[in-house]
Amino acid sequence: MNRIKNAFDGKKVFIGFVTAGDPCLSKTEEFVLEMERAGASLIELGIPFSDPIAEGPVIQAANIRALSAGCTTDKIFDMVKSLRTKTQIPLVFLAYANTLYKYGYEIFCKKCRETGIDGVIIPDLPFEEKNELAGTAAENGIDIISLIAPTSEQRIQMIAKQASGFIYVVSSMGVTGVRSEIKTDVESIVDTIRKVTDVPVAVGFGINTRKQVEKYTSIADGAIVGSAIVKIIAEYGEDAGSHIYNYVSELASGL
């Protein structure tokens, strides 16, 4: 059983996100371990990119901080290799298509397999274009995590049928960021997905309270929290570890 499948096996899952290299890669490693200790079952690592079009101001700023500090994809792979000596928590990259294309799909997927990355989320890779990567990813045991948005409508089941790892349901229109209220009918989207696949479903975009975690893990299999964690890093920098632990502990207790 692979790490992602094992994480969702009979359990509700809290998924935490950090931008790799913000404020530095040694701290990214520390923050991942703190989130795991606090109850996270899967971690998304953002590969910093100069034009992260799916991200709101909080994660955009984290990308700039990481790039300004000299973070590169090769350095992130080195960090993941080090992290894998300390934990077997599932790790998924969130990366933009240009990063993979420039690095080379085959080399990127091979490095993911060698260092211990389990999947990749590519927000700007259309479903219709994923086949240019899908074969190489599958050969290396890397799941391409599908995103389903409120605008997917008739395409929901088409996307879900080919999903692997888990399905990322985007809870809100627009970019990432903390939201006090989420108005999308997420339950209807999840019900539509369930008709065609038993691949686990996690809900993200805007989730930042224990009450929201409770709500969306009652509907789906997991809840994803990103911007709220990145805000803690923006505020506390290298001293964010204990604050991340406390915050994730509070939210994960809502599972």
The confidence score (pLDDT) of residue 177 equals: 43
Residues 27/32/34/35 CA torsion (nearest 10 deg): 140
Q: Which long-range CB contacts under 8 A does 151-160 form with residues at least 24 apart?
A: 152/189, 155/127, 156/189, 156/192, 156/193, 157/192, 157/193, 157/195, 157/196, 158/127, 159/127, 160/192, 160/193, 160/196, 160/197, 160/199
Q: What is the pTM of this model?
A: 0.94
The band of 175, judged by pLDDT with boundaries at 50, 70 and 90, is: very low
pLDDT, the chain, mean: 93
Average pLDDT over residues 181-195: 85
- On the question of pLDDT at 185 being above 90, the answer is no
| 11-252 placed in CATH 3.60.150.10 | no
* Enclosing H/E stretch for 190: helix 186-194
Average pLDDT over residues 226-234: 97
* CA-closest candidate to residue 202, choices 14, 7, 11: 14
Distance, in Å, from the CA atom of 185 to the CA atom of 135, rounded to the nearest integer, reads 33
- Top pLDDT among 139 and 183 is at 139
Distance, in Å, from the CA atom of 112 to the CA atom of 114, rounded to the nearest integer, reads 6
Tens-place pLDDT, residues 23-54: 999 999 999 999 999 999 999 999 999 988 88
Average pLDDT over residues 126-151: 94
The band of 184, judged by pLDDT with boundaries at 50, 70 and 90, is: confident
- On the question of pLDDT at 179 being above 50, the answer is no
Domain ranges of the chain: 11-252
The band of 154, judged by pLDDT with boundaries at 50, 70 and 90, is: confident
- Top pLDDT among 151 and 26 is at 26
The band of 227, judged by pLDDT with boundaries at 50, 70 and 90, is: very high
- On the question of pLDDT at 173 being above 80, the answer is no
